[in-house]
Amino acid sequence: MKAWTWRPISDVSVAALNRAARRLPTWVVYLLGALPGPVVFYQGLTGGLGPEPIKALEHALGLYALQFLLAGLAISPLRRLAGLNLIRFRRALGLLAFYYVSLHLLVWLLLDVQVPAAIWADLVKRPYITVGMAGFLLLLPLALTSNSFSIRRLGRRWRQLHRAVYAAVLLGALHFVMLRKGLQIEPLIYFSLAVGLLALRLPLPRVCRKAE
């Protein structure tokens, strides 16, 4: 009896994609992933983000961060369920997510709030900011230990530490939902994706099929 594995695309296509992924240098992922940051800043400086450029800039950077977090979270389910192996890019996706979270936070601190005394007031009075800050604080040690030295130094504890990314993704998606007034479709889609990707990481029952 064989364990059933879902294959949304043919094995030939998966093999071709895996070969292409092995040939793609990781620095290309870093470069292409980081480019939208300067682009959206340029749009803000040149009036391309509408009448409220700071809010639009915050939103764009936060959305990029959430998208990279979800992309990183999708890697293990894709390998397990579809056979697509993108594991070598997971560190890059995680660091790119932290890059955008940091830019998102800096824009809020330096361009939006500006007054240091107001920062604590916002953290206390606005739950969505508290949730977002909690997500950032969870990601901080993960970014600092996303290197070969830390992996060797921490051993098994490294994996345990980096499981905090699951909570960080949920907090990021929840931050997005709470940020928008009322129940809007876009934030709910992202939150559902976060929950769904986490659910896919749960152990699946072994569904057997008849041996051919």
pLDDT in tens, 123-170: 888 899 999 999 999 999 999 999 888 888 888 888 888 999 999 999
DSSP 142-202: HHHT-SHHHHHHHTHHHHHHHTHHHHHHHHHHHHHHHHSSS--HHHHHHHHHHHHHHHHTS
Range of the domain at 128: 2-209
Helix (H) or strand (E) holding 209: strand 208-209
155 Rama class: left (phi>0) / alpha (psi -120 to 50) / beta: left
Number of structural domains in the chain: 1
Please give the pLDDT value at position 204.
59
Contact indicator for 14, 83 with CB cutoff of 8 Å = yes
The answer to which of 5-9, 28-32, 36-40, 140-144 has the lowest mean pLDDT is: 5-9
| Pair of tokens at residue 15 | 């093999």
Cα–Cα distance measured from residue 186 to residue 67, given in angstroms and rounded to the nearest whole number: 12
Under the banding of pLDDT at 50, 70 and 90, the label for residue 174 is very high
| C-alpha atoms less than 13 angstroms from C-alpha of 99 in its C-beta half-sphere | 18
Cα–Cα distance measured from residue 48 to residue 42, given in angstroms and rounded to the nearest whole number: 8
User: Global pTM?
Assistant: 0.87
